[in-house]
Amino acid sequence: MRFSITSQVLYGAAVASALNIPNRGLLSGVNEELDGLKEDLQKLALPLEVFGEFDTMTLEEAQAAAAADKGTDANDDELSSPASTDEFTTQAACANPRIRVEWRNMRDADKLSFVNAVKCLMERPPSGNFSPSQSRYEDLVAVHQRMTSRIHMSGLFLPWHRYYTWVFSGLLREECGYTAPLPWWDEVRDAGNFAGSGLFTDEYFGDLPPANGGRGTCIENGAFGGTILNIGPGASNTPHCLARAVDERQTANVNQAFVDSCNSRTTYSSMESCSEMGPHAYGHNGIGAVMAAVSGSPGDPVFFLHHGFVDRMWRKWQIMDNSRLRDISGCATPGENCEPLTRNTVLSSMGLRRDVTVGQILDIYEPFLCYLYDY
């Protein structure tokens, strides 16, 4: 849901005022009204404590755990599912994989096509199954919100989010006619300077501002400027603006040393935990506000580029040893009551797209998912 059509018209008029167009009195009135709209939008900014944040581990903790993990064989994990001669080891590679392209490598036309396709989902009517969702895009956010207690802090984290990004991609293509590559964001290249990444511009995702008086700052520009969210924060559903609150001290932790530490692990469960509480968590918290809210974080469309980065981390770990393309371990539920995570564990999007099993999405180069990363 956008703030209003009027606000978009007024934004255009404000831009025109900088182009030496006559009738300054009229434009002055437009600018005053635009300032009023901005003030109204900022009233929908919520305190940062309402959003919360993701649990993290430090790089030192990650490196210590990696050292302890060195002598552990993945097949010694009682919950591990090592490679075997089942249907998932005999499938052929897909013939024409889609290539997920890092944002900087995308053609400008494809970047615009992507943000316009996301806006299309935001403008499509909701299914009616996820009240108070106001759009097809918010249906996606609502599914993440409702699944949150199961898909975080458990072994299900990486497989479910790989599946969820596939669901998102399918909706873009099937309902909004998107044909360009799905972008991902190589956040390591921007560690400590997310704001300078090239995503957060007037043309694309809007600004990445700091907090404003202990609150998130509502995004007023870019493709998603003026967006109002109805899902979240947390389990609540309080209308609020798409807000950010960058903390580059946190984004600095999305660095190569942290990625290398996570990907040096020898067991899936150890690597997954490091990835989730390391680069993944710091990326969310560093962007802040909506992105720092565990359940409602997909409300910020940059979520999906961030999870492309996380998914690529997992893919890199998998192809270091081909047996890892079939390996899964840990629990499908958080907490003490462990439900073992296996290749037969079902991944659901509550009807947005069909349910699949973990085994179907372990290898992205097999026919079901059929995609690769550009590097």
The DSSP secondary structure of 265-296, one letter per residue, reads -SSHHHHHHHHIIIIIHHHHHHH-GGGG-TTT
Where is 191: in which H helix or E strand? none
pLDDT in tens, 98-126: 999 999 999 999 999 999 999 999 999 99
- Tell me 346's DSSP state: E
CA distance 200 to 108: 14
- Residue among 276, 370, 373 at smallest CA distance from 330: 276
In whole angstroms, how large is the CA radius of gyration of the chain?
Answer: 21
* Dist CA 232 CA 216 (whole Å): 14
Task: Judge contact between 307 and 165, C-beta under 8 A.
Answer: yes
Rounded Cα distance, 15 and 31, in Å: 10
User: Which domains does the chain possess?
Assistant: 1-43 (no CATH), 57-373 (1.10.1280.10)
Contact 231, 141 (CB under 8 A): yes
Q: What is the pLDDT of residue 32?
A: 55
- Per the CB < 8 A criterion, the answer to whether 246 and 290 are in contact is no
What pLDDT score does 69 carry?
80
- Rounded average pLDDT over 329-356: 96
Q: Report pLDDT for 375.
A: 98
Q: Name the pTM for this structure.
A: 0.86
pLDDT tens, residue by residue, 274-326: 999 999 999 999 999 999 999 999 999 999 999 999 999 999 999 999 999 99
Give per-residue pLDDT as tens, 76-98.
Answer: 343 333 333 333 333 568 999 99
